[in-house]
Structure 1
Amino acid sequence: MNYTFLPNTDIKVSKVCLGTMTFGEQNSESDAHSQLDFAVEKGVNFIDTAEMYPIAAREATLGATERYIGSWLKKSGKRDDLVVATKIAGPNRGMGYIRNPLDFSKRNIHEAVNLSLKNLQTDYIDLYQMHWPERVMNMFGQRGVSKIDTQWKENFFEVLSIYDGLIKEGKIKHIGVSNENPYGVMKFISESEKHNLPRIVTIQNPFSLLNRLYEIGLSEIGLRENVGLLAYSPLAFSFLTGKHLNGIQPTSRLGLFPQFTRYSNENCFKATKLYKELAESNGMTLTQMALAFVNQQDFVTATIVGATTMEQLQENIAAFDTILSPKVISDINKIQELIPNPAP
């Protein structure tokens, strides 16, 4: 296992981060504990979750993922050996059952942090992330912003001030953003520098062979400002395993939750077929090539991998031993030029 540091911190993290959003929906508590045991045995020390998990989000299972992780942390006694990241849900997602209103007010942030601490059975959170911005903007299924949210009032300073208090209390160590755009990242950075407030250290956004939109704007910010990408969906909801090329598998996440359509359009099928042919012609599985590609990007701090079976998790973690040659990278880029970012 290779390791790095969360940018601008002394927190050492594995390049593989265990994603957990299936815990409590597709995976039982026993499954979750087995995955955590295996990942830690393989050297993974970085775990990512969120208050709204598991996915698909619903009121009946709210918080189950954090609770499963919490029961394992208590049982294993490994809390201080691990880096635990979680997230507060933002508004605009029809999740009023979490809190109403869903915003980043002081009351809501404190409530969310305290509930996550309780669920995780820990005294502190290493990385606390805003799951998506307060303002309405492009995220899933959209490629750009054509209208701005005139109802939202800028509050970057106020939000950072709230996190400053929580860091001083010892409840969280560092902060990050997720599903964010260049505008939000730079505003958070400029406000933190201007007022000596906590600086965001990570951006958790999608990045894969089917979605390289991070490279447009955010990658330069990340590299120049030393903010690391926590790349999620590196296998595009399992699409980049190639198993859906002959039709969506009914027991998969895409089969069980057909509302997640971003990876199943015609161009995703076309691009995935080309990537699979490229991988196999170079003696690799598509899974190996897809994960190795993400891992080799300079702007990636860690790649978040999840699984519903132990076999999948074993394959995913093992894929990080794969190193892609410059020729393979060049051939990948040719496919990207032919079918750019088919999954917005």
Structure 2
Amino acid sequence: MKMNKLGRTSIEVSQFCLGSMTWGTQNTADEAHAQIDRAVDAGINFIDTAEMYPVNPISEETIGRTERIIGLWFERDMRRDEVILATKHSGEGLSIVRDGAPISSKTIADTVEGSLRRLRTDYIDLYQFHWPNRGSYMFRKNWDFDPSGQLMLDTQEHMEEALDALQKEVKRGTIRAFGLSNESAWGTTKWLETAERMGGPRVASVQNEYSLLCRLYDTDMAEMSLQEEVQLLAFSPLAAGLLTGKYQGGKVPAKSRMSLSADLGGRRTPRAFEAVAAYLDIAKRHGLDPTQMALAWCKTRPFMGSIIFGATTMAQLETCLGAVDLDLSADVMAEIGAAHRQHPMPY
């Protein structure tokens, strides 16, 4: 398993990261623990979660359940030192967490403590802000994104007070590194500039959606990543399962994500299925598993820190692990490039 350094920190994470957002709804604690066992045995040292998990659906009754499941694994096996653990502080607008309050110096300490308690650990390796207070063009909002209502002074004040609160957590030893999620190039560089000026924790990573079907990261964010040494942690690298091919032809497998979220968070469009068909054809021509091809392609991106994948069955997990040692040929890469030009941003 290839290891990558997280930003300018001393933390090294595996090229693949085990996602956890189904643990507690679609997966039981025992199933989640079996996934962690298998992933660690395969060389994965990185687990990503969030205080709001599980999803599908998000509910007041299940908030925090995924962190509790991971905490039970730590308590059971006493293998905390074998895992790099990332979790997230929910942003403004999620009414069932802190009544939708924004991220602030008033929320950070208590939110960190809540995660530590559920995770049954005394430190978090990577603490991330799930989405920015000012809003984001992620989650299909890019089509009509309008930042004209943002006030730069408010954003700057928020960043300063948040970094001050985060630095206190670093000094307490409760967090080792700081990361962003669903962020823009401008937002990330403002965080970096503010941290440099104030001495707060420097952004180590950005967790944004990235896959063959969603390549918003390929321009300004890519440049920022390489110049500032802030790697991408790619979520939804299989486009919520679309790239596996399991939804082609109108199929909706039982207990699949589409069976729980009919439009896959805005990803289910006619053009998406056309794009998937093109990638499935490439995989078939070259004798590749489409899931493994999609994940292996992510490995080729120069800004990649780790690829976050999730599984609801052990068979799915094994398929994903097959991408660890898969290197795509120049012919496959060229065909993928051509398909992308024919099917750009299908959702």
TM-score per shorter chain, which class? over 0.9
Distance 2:141 2:224 in 1: 21
> Equivalent residue of 1:148, what SS?
helix
Q: Name the aligned partner's letter for residue 85 of structure 2.
A: V
> Equivalent residue of 1:238, what SS?
helix
Partner of 1:73: 74
How high is the TM-score relative to the length of structure 1? 0.96
Aligned-pair CA distance for 1:34: 0.6
> Equivalent residue of 1:321, what SS?
coil
Partner of 1:11: 11
> Equivalent residue of 1:126, what SS?
strand
Distance 1:167 1:331 in 2: 46
Structure 1 pair 110/248, CA: closer, same or farther in 2 (3 Å)? farther
Aligned-pair CA distance for 1:248: 4.0
> Equivalent residue of 2:135, what SS?
coil
**Structure 1 stretches of 4+ moved >4 Å:** none
Does structure 2 conserve the Cα–Cα contact (< 8 Å) formed by 1:136 and 1:149?
Answer: no
Q: Which moved more, 1:174-183 or 1:324-333?
A: 324-333
Distance 1:134 1:206 in 2: 18
Among candidates 189, 193, 203, match of residue 200 of structure 1: 203
Does structure 1 conserve the Cα–Cα contact (< 8 Å) formed by 2:246 and 2:253?
Answer: no
How high is the TM-score relative to the length of structure 2? 0.95
Distance 1:325 1:171 in 2: 43
Aligned-pair CA distance for 1:103: 1.2
Distance 2:52 2:148 in 1: 26
Partner of 2:20: 20
Q: Which moved more, 1:327-336 or 1:234-243?
A: 327-336
Does structure 1 conserve the Cα–Cα contact (< 8 Å) formed by 2:7 and 2:203?
Answer: no
Structure 1 pair 259/110, CA: closer, same or farther in 2 (3 Å)? farther
Please tell me the root mean square deviation across aligned C-alpha atoms, in Å.
Answer: 1.3
> Equivalent residue of 2:118, what SS?
helix
Q: Name the aligned partner's letter for residue 124 of structure 1.
A: Y
* Unaligned segments of structure 2, at least 5 residues: none
Does structure 2 conserve the Cα–Cα contact (< 8 Å) formed by 1:137 and 1:149?
Answer: no
Does structure 2 conserve the Cα–Cα contact (< 8 Å) formed by 1:48 and 1:86?
Answer: yes
Distance 1:12 1:183 in 2: 26
Aligned-pair CA distance for 1:259: 5.1
Q: Name the aligned partner's letter for residue 38 of structure 1.
A: R
Does structure 2 conserve the Cα–Cα contact (< 8 Å) formed by 1:137 and 1:148?
Answer: no
Q: Which moved more, 1:102-111 or 1:63-72?
A: 102-111
The equivalences for 1:24-103 within 5 A come to 24-56=24-56, 57-92=58-93, 95-103=94-102
Partner of 1:130: 129
Q: Which moved more, 1:141-150 or 1:276-285?
A: 141-150
CA-to-aligned-CA distance 1:190-249 (integer Å, 9 cap, x gap): 111122221000000011000011112101100110001000100011111011111141
Once the two structures are aligned, what percentage of the paired residues are identical? 40
Distance 1:310 1:149 in 2: 46
The equivalences for 1:227-266 within 5 A come to 227-251=230-254, 252-258=256-262, 260-266=264-270
Greater share of residues in helix: 2
Distance 2:188 2:337 in 1: 27
Does structure 1 conserve the Cα–Cα contact (< 8 Å) formed by 2:247 and 2:253?
Answer: no
* Unaligned segments of structure 1, at least 5 residues: none
Q: Which moved more, 1:138-147 or 1:187-196?
A: 138-147
Does structure 1 conserve the Cα–Cα contact (< 8 Å) formed by 2:139 and 2:265?
Answer: no
Distance 1:130 1:148 in 2: 22
Aligned-pair CA distance for 1:318: 1.4
Aligned-pair CA distance for 1:111: 1.3
